[in-house]
Structure 1
Amino acid sequence: MFNGGVIEEGAGGPGLGECLAGAVRTVWAKHDRATDGWLPLWRHMADSAAVAGLLWDRWLPRNVQALVAGPLPGGMEDARRLAVWCAAGHDVGKATPAFACQVDALADRMRAVGLDMPGPKQVGDDRRMAPHGLAGQLLIQEWLVERFGWPERATVQFAVVAGGHHGVPPGHGQILDLDHHPELLRTPGPSEPVWRRVQTELLDACADVYGVRDRLPHWQRVRLPQPVQVVLTALVVVADWIASNPDLFPYFPEEHPRGDAARVAAAWRGLRLPGPWSPAVPAGTAGEVFATRFDLPPGARVRPVQEEAVRLARSMLAPGLMVIEAPMGEGKTEAALAVAEIFAARSGAGGVFVALPTMATGSAMFPRLLDWLDRLPPDGLDDTTPEGRERSVLLAHSKAALNEPYADLLRAGRHTIAAVDQFGDEDQLRPSDDVRSAPAELVAHQWLRGRKKGLLASFAVGTIDQLLMAGLKSRHLALRHLAFAGKVVVIDEAHAYDAWMNTYLDRVLAWLGAYRVPVVVLSATLPAARRRELAQAYAGGTRDDAEGYAVLAEAGGYPLLTAVAPGTDPEIAVPAASGRRTEVRLERLDDDLDVLADRLEAELAGGGCALVVRNTVDRVLEAAEHLRARFGEKAVTVAHARFLDLDRAGKDARLLELFGPPGEDGTPPQRPQRRHIVVASQVAEQSLDVDFDLLVSDLCPVDLLLQRMGRLHRHRRSDRPARLRAARCLVTGVDWTATPAPLPVSGSRRVYGEYLLLRSLAVLEPHFADTPDAGVVVRLPEDISPLVQRAYGSEPQGPAAWAEAVAEARRAHEAHRARQRHGADVFRLDRVRRAGRPLVGWIDAGVGDADDTRAGRAQVRDGQESLEVLVVRRRADGTLTTVPWLGQGLGGLELPTDAVPSPRAARAVAASGLRLPYHFSYPRVLNRAIEELEEWCVPAWQAKECHWLAGELILALDDGPGGDCQTRLAGFQLRYNPHDGLRVIRDGTERQGDG
């Protein structure tokens, strides 16, 4: 039980070490080759159990505790005992010849007391058949059968926790192989009974000390759901990792003058692991909640969709899935955070994860999350301890350390978990008095860093990949599941994902539903069929009645809120519109650069700002070059995804500075005094709160075109030029004269597919006008949902003459989606199985150690790896510098090749990351590019202390004509400048690029 930060191993009874004597005390668990120190197995088992108890009491969210307690007859008390017992027994497989033979001196000590074993060379490769996790699983199963009469099938669901504690539950074939080699578990001959006695003594002692002996007869009838097995495995992994840290649990002689409790208490104080969030349901009206949680502009009022979201979150039978569909700029993010607070209070979730489409949108969201966290009230944690004051936070993507708010937290939270003085004064380990007086200290906790542990932080913002990888068969998947099981999950821009990604998302939602994880999904343009799929995926583990969800595909109204609670019919709410309204006139524009320039010259004759959105980067660059020749260099800005990280961040900041909303003090943006044109790719579609007077857009799927229209007349302004006071969108990128149907340009067809483009064009037909005064305007937000539902529905759309072309495009579209779903299925996690089905083989045939790697991200996105490089400048003499144009004094810094660069220079290089376009995703080109880049590897930069650059691919650019930097890679010529970004050229011709 927990008592003031100390684990008591029993109800006043002896500890594990006191219950064991003789040969069992020679069995070893840890060995340090540098010092020749070692740790007895019983000691590590006791440490792990103690840590598991502390994690249960001080770190694990209430909803995860309740999940484990659900199937157990003794409820929460049984659940805690089970978790501690699983942690205690997880390494019992080390009490086998296959493990113990590895260190000669320690093996000899065991041989001396009758635990005979062959040497490692005699065992040979057979040792691989008996990893200690699997060995422990089989020993626990055998013990439950022999000592307590359990049916063998009932044992696996409990013992598999030990089997999977190194990241991968065993497969059926592995179990069968080890069954055929019992000598790996016990050496045959006179020592076999000694081995058996030692193994039984360890398991008997764990049962007695951790209070499960009397409970085991009751548990044999329990059918543990797979989600319970997963979180127990993950909890044991965390406990094992902590107990294996020699700084926290140093090797020492068995006797300890102050006892085991002091050892554990000192380690816990040294770890300072922040506890879970524990909010109360916020009181007051929605307006009062929003006023205290968010930095609202003066005079701002809560919007109807926000008010309804709060009401629904409070009134649902139980927290579940909420889908919020509302126009751009309606405050969906704030609504989601308000709902997350209510859901967390009602469910016991201990944190929030916000998933966004890209690293850029994730980085933009992170400061907003921090601001919200700073405004939350105290939540009842014990603020006399460090972990009581702190909330752990994470920015979960590969460029997180370059985000300034997160980097500040990393620097503030940087402390070494030093060796703990177990005999020292406890006061020396207490935090200093100069702590922040905010409701909670936000920390990027040192121990919770890295790919494996990071998501265990209470609050996290990351790319959607991080969530989708919860559906990817990969090593240590249980840790990722535990991370999400204890949080409210917010999924933004749900319309932005293709069939491949949705295949993973649906499976992840099924598991989240099984964990009873509250989920909030946000979208401005969600097709009704997709709404139904999301709801059914989430409820699939608890409800088989698909007919109850038919209403979701038929629901009308916009904005629209959908709520799905376990065991209940879906609930739909249609809040009133906020009153914000824009009418947009649509016009066709021929796909000719002279036509584009002429039209912009006419429209901007009296000044104003236009946004031109193209569907490929090469079309962006082609249009920008032509428009600069007409309007001048300073009148045209380029924005797309092929910029260095720092350059792109600067582009986004500059766009917000020029075209964004008023500042917090009401100061208007510094809009250009004369006409200005921004030519952008799809980066302008989402998460940039910018406002333009005129939009020119390539044809794209209607939901994305509506997103682009959301950048038209977004903010109330009185200074728009007279000609541009009516919002207009000119649609181009189409051969309007083609027969039998208009033909989108090839780049658009490649990116989106012809079928979705033709369907979108068909539903927009009534809205096109040949002159600004004709046609039917597109009304935002009223027309958003009807247009999206018609475009993505099954009813025929468009003129009869288009029917054959549309039918052919549909066949190609459906074949492509089928290929995507099939490809995603290869490594996708299986659905949640029936209760009692053990996790054996859970992630067989998986991708291995994928996590946040190129291969992992590619698997959950589109099946192709994208290549990312760090860009440096190479002078004519071969010396290297950072690229010269970087601001803040980071440009032109020397980069020695015979030593580690300065921390400032190394960070500048890390911030000069560039994701190469699709040309380099094809296997042959990708492999060739990697080979060429690895030839330029700088050995000195691979040193451990050069963490910014070690293991990264470096692309060196030479000075070129006209201020460009250039190089050749895998048969392509690359040209880069900070104004236009990257151009990719092959054989003298530029190729279509990605957005």
Structure 2
Amino acid sequence: MAEGVDVDSMLGALWGKSEEKGGGRKTLLLSHLLDTAAVAEALWDGFLADSTKRVLDAVAGGAGRGRAFFAWVCGIHDCGKATPAFQRLWEKGAEAVRAAGLGWHEGAIVRLRWRHDVAGGHLLRKQLTAAGWAEEHVEWLWPLIAGHHGLFPRAGSLPPSDRARGQLAGTGQWPRVQRALVERFTAEVGFGGLAEVEPVLVPSRAAQLHLSGLIVMADWIASDEEHFPGLDALEDVSFANARVRARRAWKELGLRGGWNGLREPGPEDFAERFGTRPRPSQVMVMEAARRMRAPGLLVVEAPMGEGKTKAALMAAEILAARFGADGVFVGMPTQATSDPMFTQVRQWTERVEEGLASQVALLHGKRMFNKEWRALTEGSAQDAASRFGGVDEYGDCWEDDPFGSGVSALRERTAEPASRGPAEWFLGPKRGLLCPFVVGTIDQLLFAATRTKHVMLRMAGLVGKVVVLDEVHAADVYMSQFLKEGLRWLGQAGVPVVLLSATLPPEQRRALVSAYLAGASSREEYPAAELPEPHGYPSVTAAWTTPADATARVLVDDCPSWREDAAVGLELLPEALPRVNAKRQARRAAQAAADEGVVSLLKRELVDGGCALVIRNTVGRAQSLYSALRGAFGDDVRLLHGRIAVAPRADRTEECLRLLGPGGTQHDEPTRASRLIIVATQLAEQSFDVDADFLVTDLAPIDLLLQRIGRLHRHAGVARPTRLAVPRAVITGFGRSGTGTGDEGAAANALHGAPPAFLAASEKIYGRALLLRAAALVRAGAAAKGWRVPAQVPGLVAAGYALGEDGFVPVEWREAERFAREAWEKEQQERADSASPFLLTRRGDREGATLAGLHFLSSSAGEDETKLQAAVRDGDPSAEVVLIVRAGGVYRTLSGRALSVNGDVPDGVLDEVLGGTVRLPPRYTEAVREELRPLSGWLGDPRLSRSPALVLDADRRAVLAERGLRYDDALGLVEEDPGA
């Protein structure tokens, strides 16, 4: 150091957080680095999974070395703030820096930006190289520093602009103080110098992404001025002091990990967890988990009602114990299926270890409507979406703006008692997956496979857990691109994954296993042709790679189902379908005739009582049929679909499960109705545990049709009318133009001769090719007097999706099937290709060694979860509105409770307001954005301030997008002129 240069005075001037961010006192940059390193130590001691610690130990050079290396990597993240580009941003701080002898030419940089995260990557890259680090280690580490605000830049974008003539990075004494900062920090953390920090192993890119997310987590915790108040005297700055602050913050925040040190459960533990002995298929799954020699993928295929979920949770427990995972993520296809799974996972975790149930988080956009979740979070500030308002307020918004709204305002809003559930910190934006145990929609995993800001934080929430995904067959070709991308990263990260399905097409199974193995072996692709196929059903496929040489190992097993096959009868009920572009009157007449056909059928079949389930492919068909059935069966009919407001839909779902669920057969006073008809849409297709005596369903692709048939005679010990003693399914939703349901010969000939016609809406949803193949299988099944379920399920699903193999397709249909198949395959390829701009990695980049440039041409969808959900589900984003009635100048809830003249919500009425939420079809989304706003009285309520109100008149009508809408307590939201 040059004579006369007072390095300490310079280090004592460099600020990391302004007074506004430090509770009225600035935080020295060195103090923030040490605070973050101390938080990293707390993460290591109380949060990180054993599997993560083993990876970091290996990277750092052996057992016991990972902790200090992890603390150093997390702490060094903000070294780029030691530049004029950052220090000039706060005028008061800039004056102190200049006074200490660190200057710059303001005119040269006033119009130029150099983000401090990028600057940190640039400066550290140079310093590590100078310290003698191998190039391979410099190149994987700098992106973690340059990307700690959510985006990984390319190496070419690191240097500051040449137009600044060195003033952004600093000249004169700046390089010296930058080196001094890094050296002082490195020594404080316990290293003899930068050379001693150098790792010995380049981690996988997935491990780098995980580590990057943990750096963000440590930074965000250490940036909270309530627990890390300003510290502006260099003599008070030390690692010992930072550790004291970090330990106190950790305790006060209530942060913790999951079940580190879990004992591997034995066969006897199944009964302790679930109260019953395991079935053969459940034993098979648990044994497959035990036979795996490394973290890998388990694919469980078993019939509906076989107990796949319980088997998966036990397998997760085994895999976690064997490979050091510290929690679970259970992903479900929908919000509705996530809620009952949340209850089940909480019960399971509590039986594993007392107190763990409180650490389970529910993660989806409408969790505030879940009573169990709200009971856990009552007493805390508010639910996540409102508690941590704004995008990234808790760690990112002030990266180059020390005066931005952020921590101080946040803590004012959240200074309330802690919740009884997971730590409040976990409930902020993008942090939910970091909670030890999480149940949510599969979207949470899909988000982690997108090229969006802070994707590393989402991935960090998955790595270190066991991931369980239920009903993976529900992912269409577009969603499957993100699912496969996520599996690649999880495979490379060594995350055990369990996939569940009752009806998984073989090609989809091969694709999912191949994606995981490609990641586990760090290859661009893994050839699916090498994978063995299951021969029986239920089956399990286990796949993993050996640690030594990344050679893939695949284990396949099967066993008999716990219950005997049932012969399910198949019958046909064709409809008179209107021509394309038919007028409204003709469409209504056709629908009325179709409804009457079902009414007549049910009158015959339920003459002695019984419970029937009718599944329609659209809301409009369900509403129309419900109205017709009410005229014939009165109060014995229930309606369930997605356009019923949240609260009444939850009540109806609960009632249906009470009347037809498993509990109805297990009490001294049975709750099962003597006669009941449930009319539902696809909501009844999955995770809807009801038992129907009789099924009527619109035609759908074969796997979905079998899912619906899975609701037939689902539970043992149910007393049924003699007429319905044998399970039967009636298939409708197809026909020929001009063929009426009253024609006695129509049923016998409906699927003979020329190819059938299908509902226009069904073709739009599913495609003609899959419907034709399903119709061919139904035709053959009806001729054979039905199907044997579950024995025939795998073969039927394989046939329904083995496009090109048309031996079972009637000769008269084959030309139409070939034409539809070619169109379908083209559309599928186009949909798969359309996902590419959003995927985390591009084709050809999956064997990359570092994270540099990972976010090149990234999507901005991640800044809005609604847009992000649309991005991973291939559709126009749908919009939710809160239904409010205005009559006589008074706003009221759907249930009639009055609000103020401006819509202010009195105490105790919030639940009723939120219970009026309903999701509109995507065609209304733009109109919602342009025409609807929250009521003025909602603007101060964090739960309602972003909720558009659809105000209905006294007759409960409104006009939106030039269409008439009406809310009916029985029918739900009705489109009075729904168009074609």
TM-score norm. by structure 1 comes to 0.86
Give the CA deviation at 1:627: 2.1
- One-letter amino acid of the counterpart of residue 590, structure 1: P
Give the CA deviation at 1:389: 7.9
1:247-266 → structure 2 map (5 Å cutoff) = 247-254=226-233, 256=236, 259-266=241-248
Could you tell me whether the CA contact under 8 Å between 1:656 and 1:689 is conserved in 2? yes
Count matched residues: 898
- One-letter amino acid of the counterpart of residue 610, structure 2: G
3-state SS in 2 of match to 1:565: strand
Q: 1:389 to 1:686 in 2, by over 3 A?
A: closer
Q: Which residue of 1 aligns with 2:410?
A: none
Q: Which residue of 1 aligns with 2:724?
A: 724
In structure 2, C-alpha distance between the alignment counterparts of 1:760 and 1:482, rounded to whole Å: 41
Give the CA deviation at 1:949: 0.1
3-state SS in 2 of match to 1:33: helix
Report which stretch shifted further, 57-66 or 696-705: 57-66
* 1:112 matches 2:99: yes
Q: Which residue of 2 aligns with 1:420?
A: none
Give the CA deviation at 1:175: 2.2
In structure 2, C-alpha distance between the alignment counterparts of 1:728 and 1:457, rounded to whole Å: 45
* 1:169 matches 2:152: yes
Report which stretch shifted further, 99-108 or 833-842: 833-842
Q: 1:227 to 1:903 in 2, by over 3 A?
A: farther
Give the CA deviation at 1:546: 7.8
Identify which of 246, 251, 260 aligns with 1:269: 251
Identify which of 130, 141, 158 aligns with 1:158: 141
In structure 2, C-alpha distance between the alignment counterparts of 1:827 and 1:959, rounded to whole Å: 45
In structure 2, C-alpha distance between the alignment counterparts of 1:173 and 1:972, rounded to whole Å: 52
Q: Which residue of 2 aligns with 1:293?
A: 273
* 1:62 matches 2:50: yes
Identify which of 601, 606, 613 aligns with 2:603: 601
* 1:759 matches 2:745: no
Q: 1:261 to 1:70 in 2, by over 3 A?
A: closer
3-state SS in 1 of match to 2:938: helix
Could you tell me whether the CA contact under 8 Å between 2:119 and 2:159 is conserved in 1? no
1:552-591 → structure 2 map (5 Å cutoff) = 552=531, 554-567=533-546, 568-591=552-575
Q: Which residue of 1 aligns with 2:579?
A: none
In structure 2, C-alpha distance between the alignment counterparts of 1:173 and 1:880, rounded to whole Å: 58
Could you tell me whether the CA contact under 8 Å between 1:67 and 1:515 is conserved in 2? no
- One-letter amino acid of the counterpart of residue 699, structure 1: L
Identity, % of aligned pairs? Answer: 36
- One-letter amino acid of the counterpart of residue 639, structure 1: L
Q: Which residue of 2 aligns with 1:26?
A: 13
In structure 2, C-alpha distance between the alignment counterparts of 1:280 and 1:319, rounded to whole Å: 16
Q: Which residue of 2 aligns with 1:318?
A: 294
Identify which of 783, 792, 804 aligns with 1:783: 792
Give the CA deviation at 1:823: 1.2
Could you tell me whether the CA contact under 8 Å between 2:362 and 2:438 is conserved in 1? yes
User: Which digits, 9 at most, give the CA deviation of each residue in 1:72-123, with x for residues without a partner?
Assistant: 4x1243332222112221111111111111122211111112111344x763
Q: 1:215 to 1:650 in 2, by over 3 A?
A: same
Q: 1:718 to 1:526 in 2, by over 3 A?
A: closer
Q: 1:828 to 1:186 in 2, by over 3 A?
A: closer
Could you tell me whether the CA contact under 8 Å between 2:82 and 2:178 is conserved in 1? yes
- One-letter amino acid of the counterpart of residue 971, structure 1: E
In structure 1, C-alpha distance between the alignment counterparts of 2:727 and 2:356, rounded to whole Å: 50
User: Which digits, 9 at most, give the CA deviation of each residue in 1:479-524, with x for residues without a partner?
Assistant: 0010000211000001111000001100100000001000000000
In structure 2, C-alpha distance between the alignment counterparts of 1:852 and 1:709, rounded to whole Å: 38
User: Which digits, 9 at most, give the CA deviation of each residue in 1:232-275, with x for residues without a partner?
Assistant: 22111111111110110111453559944433332232222112
- One-letter amino acid of the counterpart of residue 490, structure 2: L
Q: Which residue of 2 aligns with 1:644?
A: 645
Could you tell me whether the CA contact under 8 Å between 1:869 and 1:916 is conserved in 2? yes
User: Which digits, 9 at most, give the CA deviation of each residue in 1:279-306, with x for residues without a partner?
Assistant: 5343432xx2211111x3xxx4321110
In structure 2, C-alpha distance between the alignment counterparts of 1:111 and 1:20, rounded to whole Å: 13
Could you tell me whether the CA contact under 8 Å between 2:470 and 2:500 is conserved in 1? yes
User: Which digits, 9 at most, give the CA deviation of each residue in 1:641-663, with x for residues without a partner?
Assistant: 11111111111111112111135
Could you tell me whether the CA contact under 8 Å between 2:26 and 2:232 is conserved in 1? no
Q: Which residue of 1 aligns with 2:877?
A: 865
Could you tell me whether the CA contact under 8 Å between 1:529 and 1:553 is conserved in 2? no
In structure 2, C-alpha distance between the alignment counterparts of 1:486 and 1:276, rounded to whole Å: 10
1:463-474 → structure 2 map (5 Å cutoff) = 463-474=441-452
Report which stretch shifted further, 444-453 or 736-745: 736-745
Could you tell me whether the CA contact under 8 Å between 1:318 and 1:566 is conserved in 2? yes
User: Which digits, 9 at most, give the CA deviation of each residue in 1:768-814, with x for residues without a partner?
Assistant: 14xxxxx3331111111111111111411311111111011101211
Give the CA deviation at 1:825: 1.0
Give the CA deviation at 1:688: 1.3
In structure 1, C-alpha distance between the alignment counterparts of 2:125 and 2:328, rounded to whole Å: 37
Q: Which residue of 1 aligns with 2:466?
A: 488
Alignment root-mean-square deviation, CA: 2.7
In structure 2, C-alpha distance between the alignment counterparts of 1:506 and 1:470, rounded to whole Å: 11
Q: Which residue of 2 aligns with 1:512?
A: 490
User: Which digits, 9 at most, give the CA deviation of each residue in 1:734-780, with x for residues without a partner?
Assistant: 113686211221111111111001111222322114xxxxx333111
Unmatched 5+ stretches in structure 1: 1-18, 379-387, 418-440, 770-774, 885-891, 921-925
Identify which of 266, 282, 287 aligns with 1:284: 266
Q: 1:261 to 1:405 in 2, by over 3 A?
A: same
- One-letter amino acid of the counterpart of residue 624, structure 2: E
User: Which digits, 9 at most, give the CA deviation of each residue in 1:206-240, with x for residues without a partner?
Assistant: 22222444673683774342123212221111111
* 1:144 matches 2:145: no
1:835-914 → structure 2 map (5 Å cutoff) = 837-848=849-860, 850=862, 853-877=865-889, 879-884=890-895, 892-898=896-902, 900-914=904-918
Q: 1:810 to 1:259 in 2, by over 3 A?
A: closer
* 1:374 matches 2:386: no
Q: Which residue of 2 aligns with 1:525?
A: 503
Unmatched 5+ stretches in structure 2: 1-5, 389-418, 547-551, 576-593, 736-749
Could you tell me whether the CA contact under 8 Å between 1:20 and 1:205 is conserved in 2? no
Q: 1:466 to 1:259 in 2, by over 3 A?
A: closer
Q: 1:600 to 1:484 in 2, by over 3 A?
A: same
In structure 1, C-alpha distance between the alignment counterparts of 2:707 and 2:98, rounded to whole Å: 72
Could you tell me whether the CA contact under 8 Å between 1:413 and 1:445 is conserved in 2? no
Q: 1:408 to 1:815 in 2, by over 3 A?
A: same
Q: Which residue of 1 aligns with 2:37?
A: 49
3-state SS in 1 of match to 2:359: strand
Identify which of 814, 823, 827 aligns with 1:816: 827
3-state SS in 2 of match to 1:495: helix
- One-letter amino acid of the counterpart of residue 876, structure 2: Q
Q: 1:742 to 1:485 in 2, by over 3 A?
A: same
Q: 1:912 to 1:899 in 2, by over 3 A?
A: closer
Q: Which residue of 2 aligns with 1:428?
A: none
Q: 1:212 to 1:702 in 2, by over 3 A?
A: same
Q: 1:553 to 1:766 in 2, by over 3 A?
A: farther
Give the CA deviation at 1:196: 1.3
* 1:92 matches 2:79: yes
In structure 2, C-alpha distance between the alignment counterparts of 1:358 and 1:389, rounded to whole Å: 24
User: Which digits, 9 at most, give the CA deviation of each residue in 1:34-93, with x for residues without a partner?
Assistant: 965211111111111111111112211111222333444x12433322221122211111
Q: Which residue of 2 aligns with 1:452?
A: 430
1:611-760 → structure 2 map (5 Å cutoff) = 611-629=613-631, 631-662=632-663, 666-667=667-668, 669-673=670-674, 675-717=675-717, 719-735=719-735, 736=750, 740-760=754-774
Q: Which residue of 2 aligns with 1:889?
A: none
TM-score norm. by structure 2 comes to 0.87
* 1:499 matches 2:477: yes
Could you tell me whether the CA contact under 8 Å between 2:13 and 2:97 is conserved in 1? yes
Give the CA deviation at 1:902: 2.7
Could you tell me whether the CA contact under 8 Å between 2:450 and 2:482 is conserved in 1? yes
Identify which of 354, 357, 361 aligns with 2:337: 361
Q: 1:657 to 1:150 in 2, by over 3 A?
A: closer
Give the CA deviation at 1:909: 1.7
- One-letter amino acid of the counterpart of residue 826, structure 1: P
3-state SS in 2 of match to 1:874: strand
Identify which of 313, 316, 322 aligns with 1:340: 316
Q: Which residue of 2 aligns with 1:435?
A: none
In structure 2, C-alpha distance between the alignment counterparts of 1:663 and 1:853, rounded to whole Å: 39
Q: 1:355 to 1:442 in 2, by over 3 A?
A: farther
